[in-house]
Structure 1
Amino acid sequence: MLLLRLRSCILSHLPSYPAASPITFPLHRLLSAAAPAVSPNPSFAVEEYLIDTCGLTRAQALKASRRLSHFNSPTNPDAVLAFLAGLGLSTADVAAVVAKDPQLLCASVDRTLAPNVVGLTGIGLSHTEIARLVSVAPFSFRYRSAVSNLPYYLLLSGSYENVLRILKKSSSPLGRSLEKVVKPRVALLRECGLGACDIAKLCVTRAWLLTTNLERVRVIVARAESLGVPRGSAMFRHALEAVAFLSKEKMDAQVENLKNTFRWSDAEVCIAVSRLPMILKRSKDNLQSRSEFLILEAGLEPAYIAHRPALLAYSLEGRLRPRYHVVKFLKAKGLLDNDRDYYTTVTYSEKVFAEKLICPHKEAAPHLAEDYAAACRGEMPTDFRCA
């Protein structure tokens, strides 16, 4: 393929540089040496080029070609492909990048891409890290602001991995004005009592909050407060995450559904939501199945669940049901005090649960560990065996 030929030719012309050192050579000269100049060709077939040279599928090429209809020569895209190959992107990586952002093929290697690499290596990124950045956010890499903005996001998010997680959700923050767009939104989140760690976690899951309309962020903040979660509390970030995609109408409907499903009063639903805001994101089926098990099968009171909404965050088949049957079995056999709280046993880690409720009863209930493991796999036995 042309991409491999260009890569091979370019690499043969490159001097040896350490992985993290900036590219300082005149790339356009190397590209000129790597491939002869191609005269503009009005009949240049963009779609076929994307398939044959870039490795896109027919469907991907058809979609991408609509954004590259002005191309009449492979000269610039060839240069971009060679540049990406020189960064260490594989053929598959390049195909994925082009499919994600076809207009990267329009970028100038000399004026944008090469200077961006120089700038990014200048702030400490290795070529491998830059290649990952290009793969995750090729749109941002087309702009010089990617270099100047990245240090801010590194400081905000706490690590390069977190920056990549943010960009996987939305690549737009890297290309937006920090002073006019991003910093005012971060300042508002700080006013809500969120520290750097909370803001970083919020941005990883809701990256668009950094660039969306500022008034929209204020509305989301007010909606989170309306749940009874005060600013500055440990739950406020979770409340923001929960309501970020919910309109007031949808939020009210979900609150009403919670009341009906768990037989909660207005006060009880407020307690539950303020302690676990993410239950607002649970589907009706998810909530209904947990209600049926916890209330009808396990016999828990609605008020008990409202004050311990974390019960609704655990897997029904992987934790709630198997552990309930272990506790029920041990109590029935007189091996566990009847006042042992079910919720406490649910919150144990697997290791602690085994140490406290499985291992001490190996002699009296030799099959307990086996039955519990089967239950966790969804193979619920008709009854746990005592011997």
Structure 2
Amino acid sequence: MLRLRKYVLTQLLPSSSASVSPLHRFISAVSPNPSSFAVKDYLVATCGLTEAQALKASAKLTHLKSPSNPNAVLAFLADLGLSGADVAALVAKDPLFLCAGVDKTLAPVVAGLTGLGLSRSQIARLVLITGVPFRCRSIVSGLQYCLPLFGSSENLLRALNGGSSVLGSDLERVVKPNVAFLRECGLDACDIAKLYVLTQSPLKISTERIRAAAACAEGLLGAPRGSPMFRHALQAVAFLSEEKIAAKVELLKKAFMWTDAEVGIAVSKAPSLLRKSKESLQPRSDFLISEVGLEPAYIANRPIMLTYSLEGRLRPRYYVLRYLKENGILDHGRDYYCTLCISEKVFMDKFICPHKEAAPHLAEDYADACRGEVPARFRFA
């Protein structure tokens, strides 16, 4: 036990900050006397959490009466190569990780993942990425099943970095039937892999619901199975009830003065519009229709513009284009929509950099506009 305490201290406490007070709290926290074990102090002194983080995390660990299991978990994580900062981030996100059984759960998981070809450094990354699913032995079978979708463990780790929740779902009763159904819908391994890594993934809902979502994607959104847009449409409606979808359709009609047909066109081309809130859509409508002067039908046929940031792209690029046209620097044939679809680098190369002499302040004004400011030169009469 003394060796374990020393090991945990060496691995998790920065030597430069081992002051008397934190060290005293640590020694007190690992006291063999259960009645003296203070979870909050342990989280701060040993796990590296802030006072605020420790207060929040300790509420989930009120059943802990001894540091024995947390010490074993911390030693296990240190042996995997996790740094003190890594451990603090993990425990803050998932305090119950400290309650995982090392011999019964964590060690067998590592052994299983090693058997799948993951290195210890990759396993350490997986701990940080997944959190809760890692302390369930089913993660091994889940990864074994999904690895072929991604081609390699490295591809999988990069993709999972966004925080997929599918790894915590029931493989046999949920994930496999959903994958089989999506294959019937014409989705290949690449498309399914893209759905797998979503935080809100259609793969984790019941097969009954995913079938209903597929029918909605085809019927309401006009995205037939096997089409390039089907995956996006399915993703858009998978977590929406019929009532919510109907409400979103009415919101789009009201905000953009669209007809039923125009709503159908817009959502078939940009299904993600169904996940946008009124607070997100209305300012875009006010800007594009009232200020830019675009017709509702024009927007409906180019709905991708509604997925761009209002402050970061729609406004700044419009201001640049209008400034260049009104000052005779650019011909009036350039289409605003085309300037929205190009990358930031291409936009700079085409509309900012070539005009340094004619408009020396343009780059600065554009940068200000992207930060939400409206420079005097961009205030048009």
Once residues 48 and 285 of structure 1 are traced to their aligned partners in structure 2, the CA distance between those partners, rounded to angstroms, is 40
Which residue does the alignment assign to 2:183? 190
Secondary structure in structure 2 of the residue aligned to 1:378: coil
Q: Give the counterpart letter for 1:81 in structure 2.
A: L
Q: Give the counterpart letter for 1:257 in structure 2.
A: L
Matching of residue 310 in structure 1 with residue 311 in structure 2: no
TM-superposition CA deviations, 1:194-216 (whole Å, max 9, x none): 22222222222245533332212
Contact 1:368 1:384 in 2 (8 A): no
Secondary structure in structure 2 of the residue aligned to 1:89: coil
Which residue does the alignment assign to 2:232? 238
Per mean C-alpha deviation after superposition, the further-off stretch among 49-58 and 327-336 is: 49-58
Question: How has the CA–CA distance of structure 1 residues 60 and 261 changed in structure 2, closer, same or farther, with 3 Å as cutoff?
Answer: closer
How far does residue 139 in structure 1 lie from its aligned partner after superposition? 3.4
Matching of residue 265 in structure 1 with residue 259 in structure 2: yes
Once residues 326 and 85 of structure 2 are traced to their aligned partners in structure 1, the CA distance between those partners, rounded to angstroms, is 59
Question: How has the CA–CA distance of structure 1 residues 165 and 333 changed in structure 2, closer, same or farther, with 3 Å as cutoff?
Answer: closer
Decide which of 195, 198, 207 is 1:205's aligned counterpart.
198
TM-score (norm 2): 0.78
Question: How has the CA–CA distance of structure 1 residues 106 and 257 changed in structure 2, closer, same or farther, with 3 Å as cutoff?
Answer: closer
Question: How has the CA–CA distance of structure 1 residues 190 and 45 changed in structure 2, closer, same or farther, with 3 Å as cutoff?
Answer: same
Which residue does the alignment assign to 1:23? none
How far does residue 44 in structure 1 lie from its aligned partner after superposition? 7.1
Alignment RMSD, CA only?
3.5
Question: How has the CA–CA distance of structure 1 residues 119 and 304 changed in structure 2, closer, same or farther, with 3 Å as cutoff?
Answer: same
Q: Give the counterpart letter for 2:55 in structure 1.
A: A
Once residues 224 and 342 of structure 1 are traced to their aligned partners in structure 2, the CA distance between those partners, rounded to angstroms, is 30
TM-superposition CA deviations, 1:291-319 (whole Å, max 9, x none): 11111111111111111111212222232
Which residue does the alignment assign to 1:119? 112
Once residues 84 and 3 of structure 2 are traced to their aligned partners in structure 1, the CA distance between those partners, rounded to angstroms, is 11
Matching of residue 82 in structure 1 with residue 75 in structure 2: yes
Decide which of 147, 160, 163 is 1:154's aligned counterpart.
147
Once residues 113 and 46 of structure 1 are traced to their aligned partners in structure 2, the CA distance between those partners, rounded to angstroms, is 25
Once residues 99 and 351 of structure 1 are traced to their aligned partners in structure 2, the CA distance between those partners, rounded to angstroms, is 38
Structure 1 residues 35-54: aligned runs within 5 Å: 43=35, 45=37, 47=39, 50-51=42-43, 54=47
Which residue does the alignment assign to 1:169? 163
TM-superposition CA deviations, 1:237-291 (whole Å, max 9, x none): 2222222332211211111111111111111111111111112222212211111
Question: How has the CA–CA distance of structure 1 residues 190 and 44 changed in structure 2, closer, same or farther, with 3 Å as cutoff?
Answer: farther
Question: How has the CA–CA distance of structure 1 residues 335 and 131 changed in structure 2, closer, same or farther, with 3 Å as cutoff?
Answer: closer
Higher RCO (Cα < 8 Å, 6 or more apart): 1
How far does residue 136 in structure 1 lie from its aligned partner after superposition? 3.2
Decide which of 59, 74, 78 is 2:55's aligned counterpart.
59
Which residue does the alignment assign to 2:274? 280
TM-superposition CA deviations, 1:108-154 (whole Å, max 9, x none): 43343333323322322222221222233343333433333323222
Per mean C-alpha deviation after superposition, the further-off stretch among 140-149 and 265-274 is: 140-149
Q: Give the counterpart letter for 1:65 in structure 2.
A: L
Contact 1:320 1:346 in 2 (8 A): yes
Once residues 297 and 212 of structure 2 are traced to their aligned partners in structure 1, the CA distance between those partners, rounded to angstroms, is 31
Contact 1:167 1:207 in 2 (8 A): no
Matching of residue 294 in structure 1 with residue 288 in structure 2: yes
Secondary structure in structure 1 of the residue aligned to 2:377: coil
TM-score (norm 1): 0.77
Secondary structure in structure 2 of the residue aligned to 1:194: coil
Once residues 169 and 90 of structure 2 are traced to their aligned partners in structure 1, the CA distance between those partners, rounded to angstroms, is 21
Contact 2:162 2:199 in 1 (8 A): no
Once residues 229 and 345 of structure 2 are traced to their aligned partners in structure 1, the CA distance between those partners, rounded to angstroms, is 27
Question: How has the CA–CA distance of structure 1 residues 282 and 6 changed in structure 2, closer, same or farther, with 3 Å as cutoff?
Answer: same
Q: Give the counterpart letter for 2:377 in structure 1.
A: D
Once residues 245 and 216 of structure 2 are traced to their aligned partners in structure 1, the CA distance between those partners, rounded to angstroms, is 9
Contact 1:98 1:105 in 2 (8 A): yes
Once residues 120 and 56 of structure 2 are traced to their aligned partners in structure 1, the CA distance between those partners, rounded to angstroms, is 27
Once residues 175 and 384 of structure 1 are traced to their aligned partners in structure 2, the CA distance between those partners, rounded to angstroms, is 50
Secondary structure in structure 2 of the residue aligned to 1:251: helix
Structure 1 runs not aligned, ≥5 long: 11-37
Q: Give the counterpart letter for 1:155 in structure 2.
A: P
Which residue does the alignment assign to 2:20? none
How far does residue 333 in structure 1 lie from its aligned partner after superposition? 3.8
Question: How has the CA–CA distance of structure 1 residues 190 and 163 changed in structure 2, closer, same or farther, with 3 Å as cutoff?
Answer: farther
Q: Give the counterpart letter for 1:6 in structure 2.
A: Y
Which residue does the alignment assign to 1:129? 122
Question: How has the CA–CA distance of structure 1 residues 380 and 86 changed in structure 2, closer, same or farther, with 3 Å as cutoff?
Answer: same
